[in-house]
Structure 1
Amino acid sequence: MKNSQYLKQYVQMHPDNKMAWYLLGKEYKKNGQEGKANYCFNQAGGVYEAFEQSKVPSDMLREYEEELLRTAREREMRTSRIRRVLLLVSFLLLILMPAAAKAPGDGSMMTAVKPEGQTKTVPAAQSSLDQEKAGDSTADTLLFTAREADGAVSARGLAGLVGSGGGKVPSLTAVLGMQRSGKWLLWKERLPVAYTVEREENGRTTIQSYDSASCACKPPDAGALADRGAKWQRRQEQLATLWSALNSFRAAKGRLPESLGEMTGDFPGNWLAGTTPLMERAFTPLKAEAERKGEKAAQGAAADRNAPGGDSGAAPGDAPSAGNGGAEMPFLSQPLAILVDKQKHRLAVTSGGIIIRSYEVGLGGTRTPEGSFVITDKVVNPNGHDKGEFGSRGMQLSDTNYAIHGTNEPESVGKDESMGCIRMKRNDIEELFDLVPKGTKVQITEGGLLPGVTQGSENPFSLKAAGNQTNPRKQYHWLN
């Protein structure tokens, strides 16, 4: 069985090695695991047929297998040594740093979630969640983060998790797995739990994988963690919308809003389509963080101007840190943006390299312009009704006659039948309207940049509407 484990690791690293698949299948067959053996033989393709139908000396097969096993064992030993060194460095840093100091690591990748009453226990983290069930106020917070689901727990990633938390190592961190598609990571609804990292009082760190393919095990039920992870995702979307609105408001007016109400007024003051209780609580701490970032950017710009050959461009700020003043900072720390792929008939909402939503849209072929735009108007029921050619929502693109809007011809979505505007189905445009604030940047490209998959939600993002967002004083003449 040990040989099977090494060979499995080898084929995971070298999936195109047909001979390795064949040898792994032989190991499974020898151990009576016919189903797994047949799967491996199928992956081996022609190698299986060639070796099964010919008289190949057993010594030749044994020598090849021994070489593969030796390579796999050496790789595992190197990886184990690197992991031990990184863990040791992380633990030393945790021991030596002052209790009040911020721990190293990318704080924007992690957000604290307070215990929420009764919680179904998870075998891999029994002690931590038992404390929460009992309502123990001394229980450590449960942290969530999301990373690429690559089927393995990297030593570098583990060191970052152990070293995060603002000077206090969390007892349990759950890592949600995002799939990669080209250069994008996909933020899908209810991301699966990839693994957890639990730090015990004695300093011991336990890693529990929830991916049976990567751990060669039967992982515990992740139901309770997955439920809480889904709630964490919904919180992050609300925080991302508020964070983007703050940045868009400042870019347009040169200052931050005095209150949340300044961004949720009647048209044209509806930077946000509405609010949630979380957004109302988060406004003050997020505004403070935006002010801190602005001051840092201004200092960087001044330093650049004073430096030989410096220019007047603002220095980029760092991502919001976790636990700043007890505030929950957004995991999706890059401002929301819209990318339209004309070739794929897709509109995606992105934050940095993460796709949060992807919708099918109707376009106008060459009549749909390419380039960079900004959402300048967000209008409910354009031209006074929700069943006309512009549907129930419209978002104008800069100072043009083009817009992203609904349609009374839903069958045209996915085709090039508009006069240049971007058409969306009713449920999609209404979710997009709530998700992205006024001032959001829009990039329309010829295509080939987005995955050709729809990435919506069974529980659409929605806000409690605030203010009158109709505009009866204007008749819109978008090129529908």
Structure 2
Amino acid sequence: MGNSHYLKKYVQMHPDNKMGWYLLGKEYEKNGKHGKANYCFNQSGGIYEAFETSKMPSDIWEEYETKLLQQAKEKHRRSVRMRRSLMILMLLLIALIPPVDAPGQSKKSAEAVLAKQPDSMGNHPNDAADKERDGAADLQEKDRVMFTAAQEGGFGAGGPQVKPGPFTHPELLKGKLAVLELKKQGNWLLWDRHMPLGFTLENKGAGTLTYQSYNPKTCSCQPSDGSELTNEALTWTGEQEEQALLYSAIKAYRNNTGNFPDQLGDLLRPFPGNWVSGTTDGMKDAFQPMLKRVKAEAAGQEPTDEVRALDGSKGKGPFSKTWGNKPFFEEPLKIVVDKSNHRLAVISGQIILRNYKVGLGGIRTPEGRYVISDKVMNPNGRSNGEFGSRGMQLSGTNYAIHGTDEQDSIGADESQGCVRMSKEDIEELFDLVPMGTPVVITKGALPDELLVPKERFHTKREQDQTNPRETYHWL
């Protein structure tokens, strides 16, 4: 009943908040007051139909209700404190009011009043410029679209939730949040440049968030046309791959050298200092904000206001299109090789970004943990030799992940222990992961489904990455 009291207060203050009416109706319904519940449901309009007839998970409205109740209770407490403060203030003013003829008082009061007088248009001094700036900023924020990705099915799918929660942190949502759907396979979530649009949440003001489903499986309705958002999402997914590479490279550089790179060029030196194979415009824009984030992370600190501003909390910056104003991938990239089904995956946490078909050497391919200790283009001076156009050495061994001139060996156990990849796959992998990337070779870890995009990830190479001084004899 306590919840009903606060929700009733809330809808009295915000009669246009359809979600508030719906939640009040649910409270009355739980308490057996069906007449009052039906009245509230009628006031909630389309919200009732959306939540009761669709497959929308219940924890969406439960989270919203929790936040709404917190706001209502806090507003009530503030109101009580405000009334008490005003009473005390009035008593103080009565005691402190000076005599009418206090020397200089009339002149100062007049000047103060005149300074606050509005102009002929009704604007106070300096208000016009402030309003213009605020209006432009509000308009920009209102039109802002942010993206994230979550397990297919939305909030109630039992997998990773959208964090931070949009309903518990509505202040972060100034415009619209588009949530892309990650397909689940076993314990893995599968990243895709063309992930389907699951749903959107839009801030309509006055504490109202509008939910729109685009997945016919979870919506008993005709989904709206999301083609414009889908096109924007394709750009966003590409940016997240660039930022995942950059984040991993900075972390690997620090782990191996003990220092942070001062500039992007520190990661782009000729072999053997080619931590990354090349760069993109997005990586150039994101380097300094990413570096500041990694430094704060290494120090166990939260990002400063300066870092958040660079990240995109003001609607600008390389992370401004990502929910939470931070990179989507929160863990460095890692390579996993599964000997049981001849697969090599690039992962971040429980998300698979790529899953390639590879050639191995059966029992000759060692299991264990390694790192990529160097990356070389055209091993032994050739792009079409036995090691193909790219090679990545596994630390402490004579094994490598490399290309091959025997394409039929991909998917078989014909190497002497190395990991063989097709030309297109090894060249993308070479650009996608930095030197220092951890490599785990095991059995039974990865799904069989291949995960290779049509639009391959590539960087623009800016340095010599060949090594004519050494003849490689990988196994």
Using the size of structure 1 for normalisation, the TM-score is 0.67
Describe the shift of the 1:152–1:271 C-alpha distance in structure 2 as closer, same or farther (beyond 3 A): closer
The answer to whether the aligner puts 1:86 opposite 2:66 as a matched pair is yes
- TM superposition shift of 1:323: 4.0
1:82-137 deviations in Å (ceiling 9; x for gaps) = 355234257569989xxxxxxxxxxxxxxxxxxxxxxxxxxxxxxxxxx99xx964
Describe the shift of the 1:94–1:346 C-alpha distance in structure 2 as closer, same or farther (beyond 3 A): farther
Question: In structure 2, how many angstroms separate the alpha carbons of the residues matched to 1:94 and 1:367?
Answer: 66
- 451, 463, 473: which one aligns with 2:447: 451
Which structure 2 segments of 5+ residues have no match?
1-51, 77-134, 302-309, 320-325
The residue correspondences of 1:141-290 to structure 2 (distance < 5 A) are: 141-150=144-153, 160-164=165-169, 167-290=171-294
Q: What RMSD, in angstroms, separates the aligned Cα atoms of the two structures?
A: 3.2
Secondary structure, in 3 states, of the residue corresponding to 1:465? Answer: coil
Question: In structure 1, how many angstroms separate the alpha carbons of the residues matched to 2:167 and 2:64?
Answer: 13
Aligned residue number for residue 457 of structure 2: 461
Aligned residue number for residue 413 of structure 1: 410
Could you tell me which amino acid in structure 2 is paired with residue 86 of structure 1?
A: T
For these two proteins, the number of residue pairs brought into alignment is 349
- TM superposition shift of 1:138: 5.6
1:49-105 deviations in Å (ceiling 9; x for gaps) = xxxxxxxxxxxxxxxxxxxxxxx99x9997687355234257569989xxxxxxxxx
The residue correspondences of 1:299-378 to structure 2 (distance < 5 A) are: 323=312, 327=317, 328=319, 329-378=326-375
Aligned residue number for residue 404 of structure 1: 401
Describe the shift of the 1:429–1:79 C-alpha distance in structure 2 as closer, same or farther (beyond 3 A): closer
Question: In structure 2, how many angstroms separate the alpha carbons of the residues matched to 1:221 and 1:424?
Answer: 39
Question: In structure 1, how many angstroms separate the alpha carbons of the residues matched to 2:152 and 2:233?
Answer: 15
Question: In structure 2, how many angstroms separate the alpha carbons of the residues matched to 1:458 and 1:92?
Answer: 50
Describe the shift of the 1:322–1:353 C-alpha distance in structure 2 as closer, same or farther (beyond 3 A): farther
Secondary structure, in 3 states, of the residue corresponding to 1:214? Answer: coil
Moved more, 256-265 or 428-437: 256-265
- TM superposition shift of 1:330: 1.5
The residue correspondences of 1:9-88 to structure 2 (distance < 5 A) are: 82-88=62-68
Describe the shift of the 1:144–1:76 C-alpha distance in structure 2 as closer, same or farther (beyond 3 A): closer
- 463, 470, 474: which one aligns with 1:474: 470
Could you tell me which amino acid in structure 1 is paired with residue 144 of structure 2?
A: T
Using the size of structure 2 for normalisation, the TM-score is 0.68
Secondary structure, in 3 states, of the residue corresponding to 1:196? Answer: strand
The residue correspondences of 1:404-443 to structure 2 (distance < 5 A) are: 404-443=401-440
Q: 2:166, 2:172 within 8 Å by CA — same for their partners in 1?
A: no
1:431-450 deviations in Å (ceiling 9; x for gaps) = 000000000000000x2111
Question: In structure 1, how many angstroms separate the alpha carbons of the residues matched to 2:153 and 2:164?
Answer: 17
1:291-326 deviations in Å (ceiling 9; x for gaps) = 1111118xxxxxxxxxxxxxxxxxxxxxxx964686
Percent identical among aligned pairs is 43
Question: In structure 2, how many angstroms separate the alpha carbons of the residues matched to 1:93 and 1:284?
Answer: 42
Question: In structure 1, how many angstroms separate the alpha carbons of the residues matched to 2:75 and 2:380?
Answer: 64
Q: 1:248, 1:438 within 8 Å by CA — same for their partners in 2?
A: yes
Q: 1:273, 1:465 within 8 Å by CA — same for their partners in 2?
A: yes
Describe the shift of the 1:201–1:151 C-alpha distance in structure 2 as closer, same or farther (beyond 3 A): closer
Could you tell me which amino acid in structure 2 is paired with residue 242 of structure 1?
A: L
Moved more, 80-89 or 227-236: 80-89
Question: In structure 2, how many angstroms separate the alpha carbons of the residues matched to 1:420 and 1:226?
Answer: 42
1:410-438 deviations in Å (ceiling 9; x for gaps) = 11000000000000000000000000000
Q: 2:173, 2:202 within 8 Å by CA — same for their partners in 1?
A: no
1:208-252 deviations in Å (ceiling 9; x for gaps) = 111112111111111111111111000000000000000000000
- TM superposition shift of 1:340: 0.3
Question: In structure 2, how many angstroms separate the alpha carbons of the residues matched to 1:92 and 1:273?
Answer: 54
Could you tell me which amino acid in structure 1 is paired with residue 166 of structure 2?
A: L
Describe the shift of the 1:391–1:84 C-alpha distance in structure 2 as closer, same or farther (beyond 3 A): closer
Aligned residue number for residue 41 of structure 1: none
Moved more, 322-331 or 353-362: 322-331
Secondary structure, in 3 states, of the residue corresponding to 1:282? Answer: helix
Q: 1:151, 1:213 within 8 Å by CA — same for their partners in 2?
A: no
Describe the shift of the 1:81–1:378 C-alpha distance in structure 2 as closer, same or farther (beyond 3 A): closer
Could you tell me which amino acid in structure 2 is paired with residue 404 of structure 1?
A: I
1:241-286 deviations in Å (ceiling 9; x for gaps) = 0000000000000110111101101001100000011111111111
Question: In structure 2, how many angstroms separate the alpha carbons of the residues matched to 1:274 and 1:195?
Answer: 35
Could you tell me which amino acid in structure 2 is paired with residue 172 of structure 1?
A: K
- 364, 389, 393: which one aligns with 1:392: 389
Describe the shift of the 1:430–1:293 C-alpha distance in structure 2 as closer, same or farther (beyond 3 A): same
Question: In structure 1, how many angstroms separate the alpha carbons of the residues matched to 2:74 and 2:242?
Answer: 32
Question: In structure 1, how many angstroms separate the alpha carbons of the residues matched to 2:379 and 2:75?
Answer: 60
1:363-408 deviations in Å (ceiling 9; x for gaps) = 0000000000000110000000000000000000002100000000
